């Protein structure tokens, strides 16, 4: 049976009743208020997704129903997630800025570079990146840079479809980094340090930055981060990340347990890079703001959530990690 047949559009009241049938209680918010919540403040798909953090009865009269899950817990987790994304996005942007500053400084201090040739060499075999830049020619915030440092032509085929094509490049590295996505920027950094300078730079660990980029995109696109904190990651943490946690005094059992879930792996990678790359004043501000959130708003309804050992364990791990870095 297709999703169209199996999961048709349904009114909010029916969705609330479905949650109740699966053991979700409404001790703090009435079913009517819950239905209004779905229509006015958040949708069912996002709110209900946090139920994955709760276990179900496996036998008896309540088999298949959630254990100790109230609707208010779903609302609270959604709210905590929203605030957490805001903090993490700011920190990811801080990292991106710091890495760009460091790369440009290294190129400017490199006696073998004029800042232009490295861009020519990098873009020579990267048609996809050139295409992405060309399409920014008409963009409000980047269009002026593209038109000044690139020659872009518009080609129209016989069916009237228009394509922007890059014809000429006269762009320095300090302009290029302002036009690249985070993914493309890490490619450029890889190219400069590995192919041009033929050296490793610990700030640009590709596995770490892939996790930072994934987290940044999830936060920027308002994806849920905390809706499944079970063991979901098949990605093994790098030796660098494990060493970082050892330095902070995180026991092996806690490392293995928390890094096996994708959100914790990516947040830990971000904190590693934040500690390494970001300037001292910015780092202190970002970490203290995150710490204040974890000490205050994140545990505003701790009596409702702390009975869940999974949630408590993930919170304790993150709280200890941030406290160790501040």
Q: State how far the Cα of 29 lies from the Cα of 44, in Å rounded to an integer.
A: 15
pLDDT tens per residue, range 193-215 = 988 888 888 999 999 999 999 99
Domain boundaries, the chain: 12-74, 79-97+205-325, 113-200
pLDDT tens per residue, range 213-265 = 999 999 999 999 999 999 887 778 889 999 999 999 999 999 999 999 999 99
Window from 44-53, 86-95, 187-196, 234-243 with minimum mean pLDDT: 234-243
- Compute how many other C-beta atoms are within 10 angstroms of the C-beta atom of residue 98: 19
CA distances from 293 to 46, 98, 286, 311 (A): 22, 24, 11, 16
Is the per-residue pLDDT at 1 higher than 80?
A: no
Q: How confident is the model at residue 185 (pLDDT cuts 50, 70, 90)?
A: very high
Is the per-residue pLDDT at 145 higher than 90?
A: yes
What is the structure's pLDDT at 159? 75
What is the structure's pLDDT at 290? 98
Over residues 155-163, the mean pLDDT reads: 77
- Closest by alpha carbon to 212, among 288, 273, 280? 273
């Amino acid at each position: 049976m297709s999703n169209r047949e199996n999961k048709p559009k349904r009114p909010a009241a029916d969705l609330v009743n479905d949650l109740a049938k699966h053991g979700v209680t409404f001790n703090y918010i009435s079913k009517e208020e819950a239905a209004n919540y779905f229509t006015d403040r958040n949708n069912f798909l996002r709110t209900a997704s946090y139920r994955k953090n709760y276990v179900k009865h496996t036998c008896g009269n309540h088999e298949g129903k959630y254990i100790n899950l109230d609707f208010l817990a779903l609302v609270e987790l959604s709210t905590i997630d929203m605030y957490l994304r805001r903090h993490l996005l700011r920190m990811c942007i801080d990292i991106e800025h710091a890495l760009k500053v460091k790369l440009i400084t290294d190129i400017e201090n490199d006696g073998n570079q004029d800042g232009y040739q490295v861009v020519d060499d990098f873009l020579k075999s990267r048609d996809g990146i050139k295409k992405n830049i060309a399409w920014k020619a008409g963009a409000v915030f980047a269009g002026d840079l593209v038109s000044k440092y690139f020659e872009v032509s518009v080609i129209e085929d016989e069916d009237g479809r228009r394509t922007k094509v890059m014809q000429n490049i006269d762009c320095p590295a300090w302009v290029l980094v302002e036009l690249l996505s985070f993914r493309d920027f890490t490619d450029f950094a890889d190219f400069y340090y590995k192919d041009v300078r033929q050296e490793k730079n610990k700030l640009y660990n590709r596995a770490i930055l892939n996790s930072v980029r994934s987290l940044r995109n999830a936060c920027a696109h308002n994806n849920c981060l905390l809706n499944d904190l079970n063991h979901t990651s098949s990605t093994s943490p790098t030796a660098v990340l494990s060493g970082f946690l050892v330095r902070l005094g995180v026991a092996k059992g806690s490392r293995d347990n928390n890094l096996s879930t994708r959100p914790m792996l990516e947040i830990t990678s971000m904190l590693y890079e934040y500690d390494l790359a970001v300037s001292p004043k910015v780092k202190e501000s970002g970490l203290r703001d995150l710490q204040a959130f974890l000490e205050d708003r994140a545990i505003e309804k701790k009596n409702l959530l702390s009975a869940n050992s999974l949630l408590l364990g993930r919170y304790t791990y993150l709280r200890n990690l941030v406290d160790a870095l501040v």
